[in-house]
Amino acid sequence: MIGTLLGVVFVVIAGIALLMALWKSGNLSLKGKKAVSRKSKFLATVFAGVAVVFGCLFVFIPPSIQTVETGQVAVVKHLGEAKEIRTSGTYFDFWITNTYSYYDATVQTIDIQAAAYSKDAQTMDISMTVQYRINAEQAIDIATKYGDLQTLSSRIESVSIERAKSHLSSFSAMEIIETRSSISPAVEQSIRETISDQYYVTIVAGVVTNIDFSDAFESTVENKMIAEQEVLTAEYEKEKAIIAAEQQLEVAKREAEAVVEAAKADAKAQELVAQAQAQAIAYKSVEVARMLGFTILENTTDEVTVYTIDFTGKTAEEIALISEYLKYVEYLETWDGKLPTTLVTDSSSASIILPMP
């Protein structure tokens, strides 16, 4: 920009001086060429000299002013030989002997498409993105060895493809699919180690964006995954059936235990009822025996009284009388109060037939 402005100024001044020289020499008179004085000739010579000087300045000064923009680095070549490095700023270097080669020092991106093979000879198409930035302090080496960034980028692209192919060829196709997330970092590390030290650049990123296998192989993988999914589904259904069966077994077990406990409780209740009934009969027997004149022996231990009927001196008929009387008592307890309708008579007596309980 500065060189352009100075160039415009030099051209304007040189043009004005040239016009003034022509006017003073009489060559621009509207009335044709006329005689001029010595003073006018002198002024014409002076203006002509000024025009020549500013014309020379225009030729030599503006082209020698070089501006390196932010994000650029320039290599100054003196008579074709790389000598100095210029970073962002404005510089004056005589353009006839010194020339500038500019290099983009920002991050460069290379999009790569390549074919590769796995360890088991499966073909794949890989897509990669490699980003790098040149080392500004090594710009002279880049200029000397590669000349321009296009050549350097081509070399980086070739090395990146070679590193990616080399890494992928050490894995089978299924291993690549299963470890896809770790492939890209490993490829980037391999590229970084190979390029950074030898090509005067810093690798910013190297990303494997896609790995595309052949349709036949992808179909095989898909079928395998479907089969594995079906196996997993079958195993899940089996586990679910086992769990359901175990639950049903547990429910049945709990129900059986409940039935057993209920039976035990019912048996216990029946036992208690029987014991109560037996005890009641025993008490009744004691009371009947006492009423019939039997001796009742009492034995009290731990607040429990045990009654014993003394059958000493009693005949079998007298003992049987207790049982008969108990039957009569039991009948009375269950009698509904209605008299029987059946009567058996003979010439001398009548008998009432009582139903037995």
* Closest listed residue to residue 87, CA positions, set 134, 145, 143, 137: 137
Q: Are 194 and 145 in contact (CB under 8 A)?
A: no
With 0-12 CB in 10 A as exposed, 13-18 as middle and 19+ as buried, what is 211? buried
Kindly report, residue by residue over 331-350, the tens digit of the pLDDT. Answer: 655 655 565 555 555 555 54
- Could you identify the residue written with the tokens 């052949």? 214
Task: Report, in angstroms and rounded to the nearest whole number, the Rg of the chain calculated over CA atoms.
Answer: 63
Percent of the chain residues topping a pLDDT of 90: 5
Measured from the Cβ of residue 61, the count of other Cβ atoms closer than 10 Å reads: 19
pLDDT band at 30 (very low <50, low <70, confident <90, very high): very low
- pLDDT of amino acid 350: 46
Question: Helices (H), strands (E): how many in the chain?
Answer: 8, 12
Dihedral sign (CA 160, 166, 172, 175): negative
- pLDDT of amino acid 262: 76
Three-state secondary-structure class, residue 347: coil
Q: Are 191 and 203 in contact (CB under 8 A)?
A: yes
Number of Cα atoms under 13 Å in the Cβ half of residue 310: 10
- pLDDT of amino acid 131: 92
Break the chain into its structural domains and give their ranges: 2-101, 107-213, 290-352
Q: Report the CATH superfamily, name and number, of domain 107-213.
A: Band 7 domain (3.30.479.30)
Q: Are 94 and 65 in contact (CB under 8 A)?
A: no
Three-state secondary-structure class, residue 53: helix
Q: Are 307 and 297 in contact (CB under 8 A)?
A: yes
Q: Is the pTM of this model over 0.95?
A: no
Kindly report, residue by residue over 48-87, the tens digit of the pLDDT. Answer: 666 677 667 666 677 777 778 888 898 888 887 778 888 8
Distance, in Å, from the CA atom of 143 to the CA atom of 24, rounded to the nearest integer, reads 53
